[in-house]
Amino acid sequence: MEHGAVFTAHRSTMLAAAFHITGSRHDAEDVVQDAWEAWSRVDLATVRKPHAFLSVMVSRLALNAVRAQRRRREHYPGPWLPDPVVAGDSPEWEVLHRDGLGQALDFVLSTLTPEQAAAYVLRKVLDVDYPSVAEVLETTPAAARQLVSRAQRAVTSAIGDSLPDQGNHDAQALAKLADAVLSGEIGRVAALLAPDAVLYSDGGGKVLAARKPLFGPDRIAQFLIGISTMEEVAIVPAVINGGAGAVFLREGAVTMTATVRAGEAGVSTLCFVRNPDKLAAVTLG
């Protein structure tokens, strides 16, 4: 084995894992850089399973990063959403999109304790065994199981169980919703939303956005119809954070990304990112 070749082979997976835990593109890139510096000093003769070793290493670093950022997020103006990462803008994010988790799940992970989020990603995404999860979290395998179980319950409660073809289901739901919004008919829009639908809008205090989550089909439908008439935009379908989404452009500049999560009852979660700082890295490949 050679340090650089092994690290490069697993870099995309580490980047995706760090992002799922931190929700930040910049933080994930910093975490992976820190992981490289640590990995370059490791005696390769002691490493039997590079994938597991690097997964544990990057998750531990990501856990430390999200702990350090927690206070900043507590004072964030309005809902905080994970950064949108659009498929096609960089090959190194390929695994993130292949995971197919979507922005809604990444948002749920950001609402959990850092330990629960890290445990979920390690076990459910990276398929790391419980003793290794416990090592990262500095706890026992039994306690690690409890963290994963609590995280799974929180995810299921917030966005439901994944459907067999969740990505296509979400994409179709988003297309129908966009068509209904453009019709201007509030009733038609509301009919496509689940009874417990919720919309999160992240403006970062820098642009106009809903400062609190919006709940219920009628209120969300009114909001969507309202913003659709505010400005002329081009809407481009895209895969965002591995899930169905759309990029909004005005005069060629990205003004918003939108993603949805849909269940049998309709669209249940909508995530709009308008914070220009989070849109700066968004490009359409």
Domain boundaries, the chain: 3-159, 166-279
Alpha-helical regions (H) of 23-49: 25-39
**Contact indicator for 63, 28 with CB cutoff of 8 Å:** no
Q: What is the pLDDT of residue 1?
A: 66
Fold of 3-159: Butyryl-CoA Dehydrogenase, subunit A; domain 3 (1.20.140)
Mean pLDDT of the chain: 92
Residue 100 has φ and ψ, to the nearest 5°, of 65, 25
Residue 260 has φ and ψ, to the nearest 5°, of -135, 155
Give the model confidence (pLDDT) of 170-223 as tens digits: 999 999 999 999 999 999 999 999 999 999 999 999 998 888 999 999 999 999
Q: What is the pLDDT of residue 227?
A: 84
Q: What is the pLDDT of residue 98?
A: 83
**The model's pTM:** 0.90
Q: Which CATH number fits domain 166-279: 3.20.20.140, 3.30.70.1020, 3.10.450.50, 3.40.50.2300?
A: 3.10.450.50
How far is the C-alpha of 83 from the C-alpha of 16, rounded, in Å? 12
| Residue 118 binned pLDDT confidence (cut-offs 50, 70, 90) | very high
- What is the identity of the amino acid at 148? V
How far is the C-alpha of 29 from the C-alpha of 15, rounded, in Å? 7
Q: Give yes or no for residue 285 having a pLDDT over 70.
A: no
